[in-house]
Amino acid sequence: MIKAVMVMNTQGKSRLAKFYEYLSVEKQQELIRGVFSVLCSRAENVSNFIDAESIFGLDSRLVYKHFATLYFVFVFDSSENELAMLDLIQVFVETLDKCFQNVCELDIVFNYSKIHTILDEMVFGGQVVETSSSEIMKAVEEISKCFLSPFLLSCVKMHVDDVRFSTFALFLIRINR
């Protein structure tokens, strides 16, 4: 099972952190700091696989890949294959590149919900559900179409009691006309 997915820059700022088991915010921040301290102290020519038991507890492994100014990190247990996780990072980055035409840190910062949608299409509840970049992109495009559909938004507005969401839905309907 995948325990966490993180994307952080080379200064240690977390750009994406998704944990698949409940942890308090303080514990999540502590783990992110622990992962960054391990990553920044590693040489460029060493393995991308790390035993993460000291950070995440028993039966934890970590795999990472460094692209430009970002570290992409997956934390998982022994039920997952290390090379498969490294490949999953590659699929994640390729999908982001397709979505944003050469993804950079700002794309992740300003397109937070789209990044989560892509990740949710790949990993659900800590289990890998899709590894095809093209299939993930198709699903993300369909979700985007549904989200921006004025008919869908007006239907949602009628069935949701939350005033803030209704106002947001009306706002999206107006800008899409």
Which of the two residues, 161 and 28, has the higher pLDDT score? 28
Rounded to whole angstroms, the Cα distance separating 124 from 137 reads 16
Q: How many CB atoms lie within 10 A of CB 165?
A: 12
The CATH class of the 2-169 domain is alpha beta
Q: Look at residue 172 in the predicted model and tell me its pLDDT.
A: 53
165-to-152, 157, 169 alpha-carbon distances in Å:
13, 7, 6
Q: What is the mean pLDDT of the chain?
A: 83
36-64 average pLDDT score = 87
**Domain residues of the chain, as ranges?**
2-169
- How many helices and strands, by DSSP H and E, does the chain display? 8, 7
Specify whether the CB–CB gap between 88 and 131 falls below 8 A.
yes
Q: Look at residue 148 in the predicted model and tell me its pLDDT.
A: 62
Beta bridge partners of 70: 9, 67
The full 3-state SS of 61-95, as one line of letters, equals EEEEEEECCEEEEEEECCCCCHHHHHHHHHHHHHH
59-81 average pLDDT score = 92
Token digits of residue 54: 């000291």
> 116-175: per-residue pLDDT in tens?
999 999 999 999 999 998 999 988 888 877 766 555 555 444 444 444 454 555 555 555
Cα angle value 85/21/84 (rounded, 5°): 10
